[in-house]
Structure 1
Amino acid sequence: MEDQQIVDMYLQRDENALAQTKLKYTIYCRAIALHIVQSPEDADEALNDTWLAAWNSIPPHIPECFKTFLGRLTRNISLNRIRSEKTLKRGAAETRVVFEEVEDWLQSEQNIEQQVSEKALAEEINNFLDSISATERNVFVRRYWYMQSIAEIAEYHSFSESKVKSMLFRIRKKLYAKLEKEHYL
C-alpha cells in the first residue's frame, strides 16, 4: 500500500491505518529503536508508542514523507526512553557513546536555542551534509541519526573500524568549524 493511502486512512480515522503502518514500517522503525535503546523489550515499547503517536498526530499534522515522519517519531520516543533512569541501567551504551562524541560542540557557552531556531540549525546541518561526499554523509547519518555502532558502519561500507572512526572525527571537526563560523556555537 502506498504511503499516501495510509496517511489518507489516518485522516479518515480508519483504524486499518495502524495495521498498514505496522505491516510496512515495523522492520524500519524497530531497527531505529533497537539501535538507540539496545533492548528488544524497550524497542517494542517504543514501537507501540510510535504507532500511538502517529495516530494522535495525524491529523492535524499531515507528513510530507511518511517514512521519515515515522522514523523521527521512533527516534525521538527512543531517545526519551533512554533518558529514563530505568533504561540507562539496562543499556543504551552505544547511544551514550554517540552523545559523548559530540558533547564538546553541544555544550556551548551560549544557549543555541536562544540564538537560532531549531529549524535554522537543522538547515545549516543539512547544508553541511550536502557539501560532503555521499559516503561521508552516509557514515555520519548512520552514526548520529540511526545511532549505529562503528562496527556496523564499517561492515556496511567494507571499511576498517579505524577508518570509520577517523572519518567521523574529521566530519565532526568540519561540522564544528562550520557551526562556529556561522556563530551557532
Structure 2
Amino acid sequence: MAETSRKYGGFLCRIAWNILRSRSDAEECVNDTYLRTWNAIPPSRPTAFQAWLGRIVRNLSLDRYKQLRAAKRGGEGMELLLGELDECLPSLHRTDKALEDQEIADLITDFLNTLAPENRIMFLRRYWYGQEIARIAADLCCGQGKVKSSLFRTRKALRRYLESEEVFL
C-alpha cells in the first residue's frame, strides 16, 4: 500500500480535491480507496490499475460530496460542473425510457473515441477529473475561450450522437 500511495497518491488526491474542495474529505476518500483496493486486489489485479484506482476515488468522492451536500445544502462547484452536462445526459425521471447505465457509458466511450485527441482530453479533464477550465487551458497552453468553446461544441455533439442512438434526453 505504501508503494501504491507513493506512486498514485498525488493523482488520487487531485481527483478527490477537484470534487470535494476539502483537504480532509479528499484525504479520507483517498484512504478509503486504499482500503477498497486492499480488499479487492487478491482475486485479480486490474490491467489498467491507475484508471481503476481513479474510478474508485472518484466514486467515493462523489458519494461523499452527495452526503455533504445533503447535510449542508451549500457549495456550487459540482452543481456547476454537472449542470454543464444536463443537456447531454438522460434525466433521472426518464430512466424507464433510457438505456441502462452501462450501455450509455459504452455509447459515451464510443463518442469520445471519435473526437480529436485535444478535444477528448479537454472533455475528460473537465467532466471526469473535475478540473477547472483555467487549469485545463494552462496545462494545454491555450486560452480559456478555446477550452470553453471546445467543451460547448463537444457537449452539443454528444447530445446529437446520443439522440441518434435513440437515447432520449
TM-score in terms of structure 2 length: 0.89
The residue number in structure 2 matching 1:155 is: 138
CA contact (8 A) 1:82 1:88 kept: no
Gaps of 5+ in 2: none
Matched, 1:31 2:2: no
- 8 Å contact kept, 1:38–1:92: no
**Structure 1 position 110 matched with structure 2 position 90:** no
Code of the residue aligned with 2:94 in structure 1: it is Q
- Whole-Å Cα distance in 2 between the matches of residues 165 and 97 of structure 1? 14
Q: Which of 53, 76, 94 lines up with 2:59 in the alignment?
A: 76
User: For residue 43 of structure 1, what is the aligned residue in structure 2?
Assistant: 26
Residues 40 and 92 from structure 1, CA distance in 2 versus in 1: closer, same or farther, beyond 3 angstroms?
farther
Contact 2:16/2:29, CA 8 A, preserved across alignment: yes
In 1, Cα distance between equivalents of 2:141 and 2:73: 31
* Aligned residue type for 1:111: T
Q: Which amino acid aligns with 2:81?
A: V
Tell me which moved more, 89-98 or 43-52: 89-98
Percent identical residues: 38
Structure 1, unpaired ranges of 5+: 1-17
Cα distance between partner residues in 2 of 1:24 and 1:92: 31
- The aligned counterpart of 1:175 is 158
Contact 1:47 1:74 in 2 (8 A): yes
Deviation at 1:119, TM superposition (A): 2.5
Contact (CA 8 Å) 1:30, 1:44: kept in 2 or not?
Answer: yes
Contact 1:94 1:149 in 2 (8 A): no
- Partners of 1:86 and 1:180 lie apart in 2 by 31
Distance 1:53 1:168, change over 3 A: same
Instruction: State the partner residue of 2:80.
Output: 97
The number of residues matched between the two structures is 167
Which 4+ runs in 1 deviate beyond 6 A?
none
Shift of 1:61: 4.8
The alpha-carbon deviation at position 109 of structure 1 amounts to 5.6
Contact 2:29–2:61 at 8 Å: present in 1 too? Answer: yes
Residue identity opposite 2:22 in structure 1: S
Partner of 1:13: none
User: 2:93 and 2:100 mapped to 1: Cα distance?
Assistant: 17
Using a 3 Å threshold, how does the CA distance of structure 1 residues 96 and 61 change in structure 2: closer, same or farther?
farther
Q: Could you report, residue by residue, the CA deviation over 1:116-136 in whole angstroms, capped at 9, with x for unpaired residues? A: 333322221111111110000
TM-score by length of structure 1 reads 0.81
Larger Rg: 1
SS in 1 for 2:131: coil
1:52–1:71: structure 2 CA closer, same or farther, 3 Å change rule? same
Distance (Å, rounded) in 2 between the aligned partners of 1:32 and 1:142: 10
